[in-house]
Structure 1
Amino acid sequence: MASNRPAPEAPFIPAQRETETFGYGDHRTDEGPWEEWNPTEDSVRPVRGRHRVAKQRGGLARSSTVLGVGVIAAVGAGGMASAHTGKPPVSLSMPDLPSVGSLFDDSSGAAKDTTPTLSKVGVTSADSDRSGNAGEALRNRIMAQAEQQQSKADSKAAAAALADAEKQSAAAAAKAQKEAAAKAAAAKEKAEAAAKKKAEEERLAALAKEYKLPVVSYTITGTFGQPGSMWSSGYHTGLDFAAPTGTLIKAIHSGTITQAGWAGAYGYRTVLTLDDGTELWFCHQSSIGVSVGQKVSTGDVIGRVGATGNVTGPHLHLEVHPNGQATGIDPAPWLRDKGLNP
């Protein structure tokens, strides 16, 4: 592909001076001619003041230098263009820039740079206030939201703590109520047991007036159910009250004499039938003091202790047959139920 060849550059002649005077009528010393000027640290005096920029390391200082030189060249070029075209000079507005010499200041004790940063260029105080007010409003809104969330969290925690406290209080109240109910039930049961015991004692005391032990002075020598070969059933069927021969035998309770006489292995026996049908057998008597059909009361004498029948010594053999049944029961608990303690 073909390309246009660049136009030849005009030779630069330092000593030549243009005849035009940039529209001022006479030649002025500041109109040229100009020669190329390369400033150095020795040729440029450092400027100190509000436009001084501290020396920086890196590409920013070098870029500022290039920018400053470029602006100077642009100004010169604009003047030259005005001189050739005859147009009035153009007013250029240049930002405050640090002098070139200050870029090479190696002074170690230089003051800190007070030049506004690029982020603040073109920003007015009103804009800064609005930005500050907006930031403060945003910060206040964020803080308000945070406080609201914290308040909600605190309220939730307080509600949870209150619910837990109420739950614990309800549990403690239920436990206390249960314990109180248990204590009341125990006290009631104890009171009922005491009342029942008292009533039983009173009942037994009343029965004791109606029931008497068959002999006054005795020794228990045989109990119900005691095993042995001397008994035809293989075990003892009554309760033995050992006492001297001739000891009085008394009626345990009021009733009717249904049997009185010899009964084989039982010797002389008397049977007293109570009003409820219970039969009381008094065996091994030496003598009988009543007859069949006779009515007796509690404590009446019905015979005397002896050693008749199948015995090894004088004693009263007592048997209890509820409802007249053939097989007897243990006389000891029956007597205790009547308020008597054999």
Structure 2
Amino acid sequence: MVSNRPAPEAPFVPSQRSADTFVYGGARTDDEGPWEEWNPTAESVRPVRGKHRVAKQRGGGGFARSSTVLGVGVIAAVSAGGMASANTGKAPVSISLPDLPNVGSLISDDEPAEDTAPTLSSFGSVTTEQAADAAPQSAADAGEALRSRIMAQVESQQTQVETQAQLAAAEAAAKAEADAVAKAEKEAEAKATAAKEKAEAEAREKAEAARLAELATQYALPTSSYTITSTFGEAGAYWSSGYHTGLDFAAPTGTLIKAVHSGTITSAGWDGSYGYKTVLTLDDGTEIWYAHQSSISVSVGQKVATGDVIGRVGATGNVTGAHLHLEVHPGGSASGIDPGAWLRSKGLNP
């Protein structure tokens, strides 16, 4: 329990009036009886304006209410001392304040508090009742503000989700469009490549045809009115090497034999199983062998042009019938190549 400290003594002020003892409310005379010590009570410190209800407080609130009552008592005591000094010429009287009970004992938590002392709200513009009335409104406003913030967060999150979904859809659409464009470009490139290859192939064919046509004017078939009876590489006992080494043009005896291309006669005469044979060496060194002739119309060292007559078809040597045996030896090699393929490479079709 906190004790009230005694009020300060008022300074002595001389006066023409008798030094009567001062009591609360006016000057005290000696006829009023003996002096009694004044102690502030709930009734003596009742507020002038209206009634003020002390709001219930728990915990640390008791100390605040006790301090309020203590402060009011001190103010009343100081005021009484000052008034006595001003209105009387007597010596100042010391006023002591007894210990006031704890506000918690005056105001029960279970019963409404009596109008015992002014509260801090009595000195302001807002009363306790007004604050109590404003509390529900403040709570409602706080709840509405919280609800507004929650709804704003929900809307913000929903907006973010929708925005992300839109972005994802846009990215998917852009990717699909890019894939479609890439596919279209790839197909177009493939078509362009195919068209280019086709055009190049056609150009090559045309060029080859032109080349062969040009060669055809420079090369000629070795004879006419013939039938191909044996081709290059055929196996059989008729040939000493075990396979056919040339291309046979079967034709009646005496059919003209022509130079396939311009060149020089490097051999002409009898050659065993070949019978009468003529060798024409071309400018690139390729040797053309004409075998089984019935007669030879040229001599060694003679220059001939394409289509010139060099002999006639016969059946001399190792034969079974009249025919021209034609062999091709590139560079004068001992082994020959397929005469049919060589003639075709020169634009001729035997």
Instruction: Tell me the distance in 1 between the aligned counterparts of 2:133 and 2:200.
Output: 97
1:295 Cα offset (Å) = 0.6
**Which residue matches 2:297?**
289
Secondary structure in 2 matching 1:230 = coil
Deviations 1:264-294 (CA, angstroms, capped at 9, x unpaired):
0000001000000000000001111111111
The equivalent residue for 2:274 is: 266
Instruction: Pick from 172, 175, 180 the counterpart of residue 167 of structure 1.
Output: 175
**Post-superposition offset of 1:164:** 2.1
Counterpart for residue 144 of structure 2: 136
Q: 1:211-267: per-residue Cα shift (whole Å, max 9, x none)?
A: 110111111000001001111100000000001111111111010111111010000
Give the fraction of aligned pairs with identical amino acids, expressed as a percent.
Answer: 70
Displaced runs of 4 or more, over 6 A: 122-125
Name the residue aligned to 2:247.
Answer: 239
1:172-217 CA-to-partner distances (Å, cap 9, x unmatched) read 2222222222221111111111111100000000000011101111
1:182 matched residue in structure 2: 190
1: CA distance between counterparts of 2:183 and 2:264?
A: 62
TM-score (norm 2): 0.61
Match of 1:320 in 2: 328
1:134-162 CA distances to partner (integer Å, 9 max, x unpaired)?
22222111111000011111112222222
After TM superposition, give the deviation of residue 123 of structure 1 in Å.
Answer: 11
Map Cα deviations across residues 50-81 of structure 1 (whole Å, 9 max, x no partner).
xxxxxxxxxxxxxxxxxxxxxxxxxxxxxxxx
- Is 2:219 the partner of 1:211? yes
Residue 146, structure 1, aligned to residue 144, structure 2: no
Report the equivalent of 1:275. Answer: 283
Q: Distance in 2 between matches of 1:298 and 1:126?
A: 129
> Which has the bigger relative contact order, CA under 8 A and spacing at least 6?
2
Match runs of 1:10-159 below 5 Å: 126-159=134-167
Amino acid at match of 1:305: V
Please name the residue that 1:199 is paired with.
Answer: 207
Which residue does 2:38 correspond to in 1?
none
Provide the C-alpha distance between the structure 1 equivalents of 2:317 and 2:133, rounded to a whole number of angstroms: 142
Match for 2:315: what amino acid? A
Q: Distance in 1 between matches of 2:218 and 2:189?
A: 43
Work out which of the residue numbers 230, 233, 244 in structure 1 matches 2:238. 230
Pairs aligned (count): 223
C-alpha distance in 2 between matches for 1:313 and 1:276: 33
TM-score of the superposition, structure 1-length normalised?
A: 0.62
